[in-house]
């Protein structure tokens, strides 16, 4: 796994809404800036839907915001199905999970959904 942590999108919302996703990542960096302090010097992998151009462009501003907190944010594509969990989130919510807690390759989406308990608060 590249990166110490992964930033995933959790929601039951369907179909995928790029505006909602952008807002969720924006909220994460606005509301949890104090939570980013322990991540200084770490690499966080941000997974976004691979075919979403608007979110890919928006993610570059997130990379800059993370860098201002000494956090390296690396953007990687991921199929949207992995980003929509069956958990209780009614709107999009960005969740941060330890990379070591996720299966290699994220090929077992059921396990990905179970890691809500590992979210850093």
List, for residues 43-96, the tens digit of each pLDDT value. Answer: 887 777 666 677 778 788 888 888 887 888 888 776 554 444 444 555 677 777
pLDDT greater than 70 at residue 32? no
Q: Would you state the pLDDT for residue 15? A: 62
Secondary structure (3-state) at 75: strand
pLDDT greater than 60 at residue 37? yes
Residue pointed to by tokens 């939570």: 35
d(CA 44, CA 1): 11
Among 71, 75, 62, 56, smallest CA distance to 28 is for: 62
pLDDT greater than 80 at residue 38? no
Average pLDDT, the chain: 66
Q: Would you state the pLDDT for residue 31? A: 72
User: What domain range includes position 79?
Assistant: 5-118
Q: How many domains does the chain have?
A: 1
């Amino acid at each position: 796994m590249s990166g110490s942590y992964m930033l995933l999108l959790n929601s039951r919302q369907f179909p995928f809404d790029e505006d909602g996703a952008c807002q969720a990542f924006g909220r994460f960096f606005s509301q949890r800036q104090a939570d980013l302090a322990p991540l200084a010097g770490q690499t966080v992998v941000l997974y976004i839907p691979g075919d979403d151009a608007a979110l890919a462009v928006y993610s570059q501003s997130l990379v800059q915001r993370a860098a201002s907190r000494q956090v390296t944010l690396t953007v990687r594509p991921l199929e949207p199905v992995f980003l929509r969990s069956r958990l209780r989130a009614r709107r999009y919510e960005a969740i941060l999970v330890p990379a070591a807690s996720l299966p290699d390759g994220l090929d077992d989406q059921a396990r990905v959904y179970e890691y809500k308990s590992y979210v850093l608060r």
